[in-house]
Chains A and B, each alone.
Chain A
Amino acid sequence: MTMQATAPVTKHVVYDDDVVRAFALATIVFGAVGLLVGVLVATQLSFWQANFGLQWLSFGRLRPLHTNAAIFAFVGNMMFCGVYYSTQRLLKTRMASDLLSWAHFWIYQLIIVAAAVTLPLGLTQGKEYAELIWPIDIAVVVVWVVFAVNFFWTIARRNERNLYVAIWFYISTIITIAVLYIVNNIQIPTSATHSYSVFTGVQDALVQWWYGHNAVAFFLTTPILGIMYYFLPKAAGRPVYSYRLSIVHFWSLIFIYIWAGPHHLLYTALPDWAQTLGMIFSIMLWAPSWGGMLNGLLTLRGAWDKLRTDPVIKFFIVAVTFYGMSTFEGPLLSIKSVSALGHYTDWIIGHVHGGTLGWNGFMAFGMLYWLVPRLWNTKLASTRLAEVHFWIATFGILLYVVSMWISGVSQGLYLRALDTEGFLMYPDFIESVLASKMLYHMRLTGGLAYFISYLLGMGVLFATIRKGSKSTVEVEVEALQPIRLSFLKIMTGAPVIYAAALVVLTCIFLMAGTLGTAFALAGFVVVIIAGALSVGVEKTRKSWHDMIEAHPLSFTVLTMLAILIGGLAEIVPLAMEKKDVPALVAAADSVWAETGEYTFVQMPYSPLEVEGRDIYVREGCYVCHSQMVRPFRHETLRYGEYSRAAEFIYDTPFQWGSKRTGPDLHRVGGRYPNQWHYLHMMDPRNTSPGSNMPTYPFLAEHAVDVSATAGKMKVLRTIGVPYSDEEIAGAAESMLSQGRLISSNLAEADIELAPDSELTALIAYLQRLGRGPQPTGAAVAGEVAATEVH
């Protein structure tokens, strides 16, 4: 540095803590809302009557509200609170634009309110954690752009040359969430509140879980790690344990995380290679995740005495411990054979709550108990009550997680149990539900305890705010002397070259035959040795990482590259496989035309079935029912033939589900008469005593909006469903005649159901699942005419 000659210029900086305070309040309030809805849905699983017979409060609609509120409203606001507070201080400058900060705050709160209104109304996209309908999606993209512009603009105006590790994590969050959210929400609207994803079937499943898994990674993990790196050393008054661990675990974490999505789809119809990638990358994620835990826990060395007196440290320790536990449990559950047992069960519910309540919830309160007194220039109103909050919350989350572990494993064992003859020990699914009853009550108790402790914490924070007064923090900082760093030189630095070489070799390894594999493995060894040797040389010069920390553009570009590789490697090959579909469909069509035999290739839904499917999506049936029979004897005995990829080519959104509180439905078509479905939907206990499913009598009273169907079919045709012009033009008639078939069939059993009711459409869809086209009225009318002529 040759600029020493110029005298340092000092700048007067006033931090914008108003917006931080606003986000803090929003966090506290929306956290309570998210938990309250959580307690309500937990109550419904114990006592199905707890929706009070109101469709807007039925489990399938409220569970998405609960997850969206917990993730996006609670953790989202907490993240923004921590990011806005720490970024200004780590960069020694005020946020670049107050206007953008406040636009961010208010648009975000409006989005939350819009979500809270639309989801109970049944307006949904039917993809987990991506339920918000398209107009709200657009608002989310706008708010994220506002956030990103404000954040990067602030970086550009910083008075601190190098970016601290917390900022690295924030950058990765902003970049990745933007990519994930936009791609997963590419869709075509059919109305102001409804749309179809352009992805179908297996592709939709892969894109959705690439998104869903990385929402966990880049919304619930990376920003919170950034917050940990700022608030934990601050509160402990101790240096961070290891800078080089920060570097290694940051880059390995963001690079590996993005590949892990398919672990949500093990033993499904997703191709084997994609499943294996999901599994092995999840396993490799163990150490990078634990790097974060280590840097958190080991930073507290020498501060253990504070553990006794300071609730902030207590919350942080439990949070980081839960992070370590969840990030061990995650790779464990990603092992195919473990997933075979745990998937679709309450084990997953326990796992995600360990993450959200344990890691995010405790991080939130560690941060808030430290931050709120500083923001309002006072002391915490009651350390004692904060302690009580801590102990009840810890008890609550442990009870919650343990009950779900037991419930999950026992469900898995119940459903796979075969007798000595090789047949199902518990043929009726309801037996596994009844076995979990007590554990559902236990979970409710744990969740309730956590909620009550939260209210206590809320009280402490509000009392603190009331006795304090808003503080304004002003500092004198030394202005940043501009230095020249070459983008090109950074991007051609040794680490980039070695990393690129490893990525290329990995691609060869994954795609090549024996010879290529040998080449790739030899290449790995060479690159690793060369890398190790050059690190020794590198250290004598100025560290390359030091340079990228001072050059945000390079840092951002490299982050972007790191997170794009995994997604591209999985999504692009699958998109190319889709080209083989037309031949498959033609072959299946000709078999169907000749013999009427179903060859595990999907044929388009009739108009009534399209509407029935939309009702299935609207009511959130996928929240409790999967449509994916896995290739296990116990599943094919219970449900029928295992599901094939070609059976979902026209399904948008895909409805494979991720949890079985009820049985799989992919082969439910033709299994029961219409009468059974009618009685079941009116009150599931008519046909399945002991069921905890809500009742759906309102479906029988509502009529399907026939006028929208043709428009929906046109959009579906754009996406690839081969509807003819005649089929679209005749949609309304076809619906009525197919509806009449069902209602006249029900009339034989003295049941009156209008042919155009929503329940009729839903029954038509359910009867269609897992098999070929069913008679629509027109065809049958023709047949009747034909037999009369004979």
Chain B
Amino acid sequence: MTEYKQDQLREHVYDGIQEYDNRLPNWWLFILYATIVFAIGYWLVFHTFKVGDLQIAKYDKEMIAATEAQLAAMAGLEMNDEALQMMTTLPDRVAEGRQVFTTYCVVCHLDQGQGLVGPNLTDGYWINGGTPMAIHQTVTNGVLSKGMAAWGNQLGPKRVQSVVAYLLTIKNTEVPGKEPEGTLEEGTE
């Protein structure tokens, strides 16, 4: 084989067209290899090891961040039904609420909220009202005459909100348990 030389013509001529056989430019080869390495790496990260978020996971995070931002903007303002309802879409807050619930509330309401000493929290009947703010009020200040403690000071506002958010997620899930007490909330069957 002959030595490589720049601008060396090949033997063949096609209709007068000649061809050199020059080496591929290094920067071109670099682009070729770099894009291949990138492609392999991208697949590894997002599909083999699933480290990165694909579109739906990214979307869910985007929505959570937006809700958090809105709640942050409301900080210092009074809680309201809408804000508490909004919080049920935040997995972190609901998980925190569940944690609070399993630590402090299960004694009277049992693990699924189906009720023992305290009422069933998964039916449509409420003794002190089932709206988000009514539940918030009950948790914060308690209903001493019925044996419900006031948790406001102990848990602090954030954990109270979280547990209310959690309660809203189990509301109307109808877990069989204690018989209904109180009145049927409007709009539920």
Q: Which secondary structure dominates where chain B touches chain A? A: helix
Contact with A294, one of B1, B21, B25 (Cβ below 8 angstroms): B25
**B146 within 8 Å of A (CB atoms):** no
Q: In chain B, what residue has the closest Cβ to A287?
A: B32
The count of residues in chain A whose C-beta lies closer than 8 Å to any C-beta of chain B is 57
A280 and B14 alpha carbons, distance in the complex (Å)? 37
**Pair B24/A248 contact, Cβ less than 8 Å:** yes
A682 and B31 alpha carbons, distance in the complex (Å)? 54
A287 and B62 alpha carbons, distance in the complex (Å)? 34
A539 surroundings in chain B (CB, below 8 A): 1
**Pair A421/B59 contact, Cβ less than 8 Å:** no
Known: A514-B49, A631-B59. A294 touches B28 (CB 8 A): yes
B40 surroundings in chain A (CB, below 8 A): 509, 521
A246 and B24 alpha carbons, distance in the complex (Å)? 10
**Pair A286/B31 contact, Cβ less than 8 Å:** yes
Which of chain B's residues 50-96 have a Cβ closer than 8 Å to chain A? 54-56, 58-59, 62-63, 66, 69-70, 73
The count of residues in chain B whose C-beta lies closer than 8 Å to any C-beta of chain A is 43
Known: A239-B19, A242-B23, A633-B62. A288 touches B48 (CB 8 A): no
A286 surroundings in chain B (CB, below 8 A): 31, 35
B44 surroundings in chain A (CB, below 8 A): 517
A164 and B12 alpha carbons, distance in the complex (Å)? 9
**Pair B32/A288 contact, Cβ less than 8 Å:** yes
**A240 within 8 Å of B (CB atoms):** yes
A245 surroundings in chain B (CB, below 8 A): 22, 24
Per-residue 0/1 for A9-27: is the Cβ within 8 Å of any B Cβ (1 yes, 0 no)? Answer: 0000000000000000000
A23 and B55 alpha carbons, distance in the complex (Å)? 48
**A162 within 8 Å of B (CB atoms):** yes
Q: In chain A, what residue has the closest Cβ to B69?
A: A422
B18 surroundings in chain A (CB, below 8 A): 233, 239-240
**Pair A421/B12 contact, Cβ less than 8 Å:** no
Contact with B28, one of A162, A291, A540 (Cβ below 8 angstroms): A291
Q: Which secondary structure dominates where chain A touches chain B? A: helix
A336 surroundings in chain B (CB, below 8 A): 55
Q: In chain B, what residue has the closest Cβ to A273?
A: B47
Contact with A509, one of B32, B42, B43, B66 (Cβ below 8 angstroms): B43
A514 and B47 alpha carbons, distance in the complex (Å)? 10
**Pair A276/B1 contact, Cβ less than 8 Å:** no
- Among A280, A288, A336, A512, chain B packs the most CB atoms within 10 A around the CB of A280
A286 and B36 alpha carbons, distance in the complex (Å)? 10
Q: In chain A, what residue has the closest Cβ to B10?
A: A243
Q: In chain B, what residue has the closest Cβ to A230?
A: B17
A544 and B79 alpha carbons, distance in the complex (Å)? 77
Known: A243-B20, A243-B21, A422-B69. A284 touches B55 (CB 8 A): no
**Pair A280/B17 contact, Cβ less than 8 Å:** no
Per-residue 0/1 for B144-160: is the Cβ within 8 Å of any A Cβ (1 yes, 0 no)? Answer: 00000000000000000
A540 and B66 alpha carbons, distance in the complex (Å)? 65
Nearest Cβ in chain A — how far from B38, in angstroms? Answer: 6
Per-residue 0/1 for A676-720: is the Cβ within 8 Å of any B Cβ (1 yes, 0 no)? Answer: 000000000000000000000000000000000000000000000
A-B contacts, 29 listed (Cβ < 8 Å): A86-B15, A90-B14, A92-B15, A239-B20, A240-B17, A240-B19, A243-B19, A243-B20, A243-B21, A244-B21, A244-B24, A248-B24, A273-B47, A275-B55, A276-B46, A281-B39, A284-B32, A284-B39, A286-B35, A287-B28, A287-B32, A291-B24, A298-B22, A421-B69, A421-B73, A422-B66, A630-B55, A631-B59, A633-B63
Contacts A230-B15, A633-B63, A642-B59 supplied; 7 other A-B pairs, CB < 8 Å: A86-B15, A164-B17, A244-B23, A283-B38, A510-B43, A514-B48, A631-B59
The 4 closest A-B pairs by CB, nearest first: A280-B39, A631-B59, A287-B32, A239-B18
